[in-house]
Chain A
């Protein structure tokens, strides 16, 4: 209790200790449930956060971080020896500079809120994870989040210029800055991206922004075979067409949005492509028709174009909520969704999906497939009772096999969700498969240097 009373002195009124108040922090959006932390603290500002970290460092208190609580790999799951730090109160957009193409936002700002603000200037921040309504600036930097626009704009790391970070010992450091170019030794801001709260606490970030595309339209293409859908997207790129978004959904996913959002699909369709094309008002029809023409060459069930804003928004919302709505398609009420997240070079997507299908059949699992086909990112959504140990052994074996399929196709076990608790084993397997175990050792050395007491997010990503 000494810890709690000391924390209460540093951040009066912001330390939660009751069971009722801690319960919601035991879970994020993954299937993990944590243990009750000693306390949940919601600091008001960087200075307070710094003093909390100084206290924790001096007293060997573990700290687990939480942004929007939308992690899919258990990155923000607490244990009973830690305190949980919520960054929710870091909720301000500090500065929008369209002349210099950047915005400075605090870590707890949710991405949709950020884009609502930027849209007043006709600008936007491109990384667009499906959880953008919930996920925060800090959390998406810490996991190097991707999303639906990855095919055109890449992932979070491409859009970060700098950040403020509180180190494990409480020291506050500024990394990078508001310029597009900066060459001054190790890029420590880059090091923080994807570090999942194991090296420091990002409290604010300087992010690159872009003017919004003038307009966009959507092609909805339906196929019987995933190879055809995969080849169609590859051919788009071969012809020099980079979509704003290129998503695929399998039949289970299509059934889910049909049930929840009443969005139907043509009979005989097994896979669906959502391809967005950005263009100027004058050229949009021509560019959409060009892309649709390519998609029609690969034996589709149906291809149609829409520029109806309401229809596009409805479909976009349905796709963004798919991880949640897909639970409606489970065979058993005790099942939950375990979402996988592998990536391959996009030209390998079709072959990878074929191999994954074989693995699903081999493991006799119910799995829904959807993902960002434009950048080769495939989400395997496994329906399983997480409390059934026997079943979870099969799930783990399947996850391992899918991970290695991705590596075989020149890809990776994790695209945009990070490693967290879930993929620690897979991370090691990928490095082993690629004969580069030394990479993991370098990561551990860095962790040891920055956080020698291993107090930040201990046990996430890897064990020391």
Chain B
């Protein structure tokens, strides 16, 4: 209520919302439309409860990129409205629970049971089987399984497209009831992407070791950070889950985590402290520990796609831009900094067409820089943008510049 009542419907948020043009300019798929639906829901729920509205697609398709927040003159957080609406859906208090996304429910059940959205923790540790870590260190490399999950996510999105929404939802409902079956996904992955993702993770390890950093890795005990729970509106589950993950870290004497992707960095740095009493683990991104004098400069013209969860985080992280500007001929796209444009990735699994349309738009902006290579520092962005351009993940690019 507090969030939407500040809104005068000026539409500034709609003008920057990536899903609005991607949907073919359907307002309920734009930030202002979502706020309008929120207002309507509040008003109608005072008369009749639950309100007869199908709001799932509108709110679940929000990318949580927070582009809207940056431009709202009144300080309305339209992204937060989507988060609240998803919470309302999951609680079933004001709208029918039929709004709940079957795929979302399936993933949530798996996370709560297996500490991984697809029950694949063991598989997610395979990339490091030949690597050595310092098992006594109070600092760990925390991948959050994000790089490792991308090849599966890409495969599932493509299967979903082939079988259609109805069959996907039907199957997802089944999996939500029988989470064990989700492990069937273990063989459904994009092999080329898996190789790239593994290379990126190994590259990060190399950069840290070259910089003299000592750290451990939890291997198959490493839990997923719970980003889906938070972003899909499962507030209670997220609180419970984050406390379990935190408890796991503390029981192992971990005092510092080195994250490798913006989603894990942002949620650990900004959301965990809100739901965990006296949170006292230091959260770093690996670039904060990597020395800059281990790289040579290049004359290559590159552009950098800034992930939303770095640029628009409560604690913005701009180190990649600064480093890349020092090392290369960096040309930033028209939408950069706080105005960066989402890659569409967060919608890839549930709203694949919408995600593709957003990544098309972003790819075009990146192409317009004239750069020969696109660098990004997020496995989700990499996966979505890699479909169209010459994209390299940051660590992969940096590894090539090691002296």
Contacts and interface: CB of A to CB of B under 8 A. Distances in A.
A, B in one complex: yes
A399 B211 CA distance: 69
Interface string A19-60: 111011111110000000000001000000000000000000
A195 interface: no
A328 interface: yes
Contacts of B9: 27-29, 69
Given A18-B54, A20-B58, A260-B73, A131 B33 contact: no
A21 B27 CA distance: 7
Interface residues of A, number: 42
B11 A70 contact: yes
Contacts of B30: 24
Interface string A108-149: 101010001000000000000001011000000000000000
B74 A325 contact: yes
Contact of B8 (A20, A26, A318, A324): A324
Nearest to A14: B24
Given A112-B15, A324-B10, A42 B24 contact: yes
Interface stretch (A86-94, A229-237, A346-354): A86-94
Nearest to B76: A324
B401 interface: no
Nearest to B73: A321
B73 A134 contact: no
B5 interface: yes
Contacts of B26: 16, 21, 42
Interface string B183-226: 00000000000000000000000000000000000000000000
Contact of A134 (B11, B53, B54, B55): B11
Contact of A324 (B12, B40, B58): B12
Interface string B321-343: 00000000000001000000000
A321 B74 contact: yes
A388 to B, nearest CB: 16
Interface string B1-34: 0000111111110110000010011111010110
A408 interface: no
B72 interface: yes
A29 B36 contact: no
A328 B5 contact: no
Q: What interface size band does chain B fall in?
A: 20 to 34
Contacts of B14: 69, 134
B375 interface: no
Contacts of B72: 321, 324
B273 interface: no
B355 interface: no
Nearest to B52: A19
Given A116-B334, A328-B74, A19 B8 contact: no
A314 interface: no
A327 interface: yes
A243 interface: no
Interface in B21-77: 21, 24-28, 30, 32-33, 36-37, 40, 53-55, 58, 71-75
Contact of B74 (A70, A86, A327): A327
A168 interface: no
A337 interface: yes
A112 B334 CA distance: 13
Contact of A320 (B25, B36, B73, B75): B73
A9 interface: no
Contacts of A24: 27-28, 30, 32-33, 36-37
Contacts of B7: 324
A70 B73 CA distance: 14
A390 to B, nearest CB: 21
Contact of A327 (B6, B12, B36, B40): B6
A42 B14 CA distance: 16
A328 B6 contact: yes
Interface string B102-123: 0000000000000000000000
17 contacts: A14-B24, A20-B58, A23-B33, A23-B40, A27-B9, A29-B11, A42-B25, A88-B25, A108-B25, A112-B15, A131-B10, A321-B72, A324-B10, A324-B72, A325-B73, A327-B74, A328-B75
Interface of B: 5-12, 14-15, 21, 24-28, 30, 32-33, 36-37, 40, 53-55, 58, 71-75, 334
Given A23-B37, A29-B9, 4 more contacts: A21-B26, A108-B25, A110-B15, A320-B73
Interface of A: 14, 16, 18-21, 23-29, 42, 68-70, 86, 88-89, 91, 108, 110, 112, 116, 131, 133-134, 260, 317-318, 320-325, 327-328, 333, 336-337
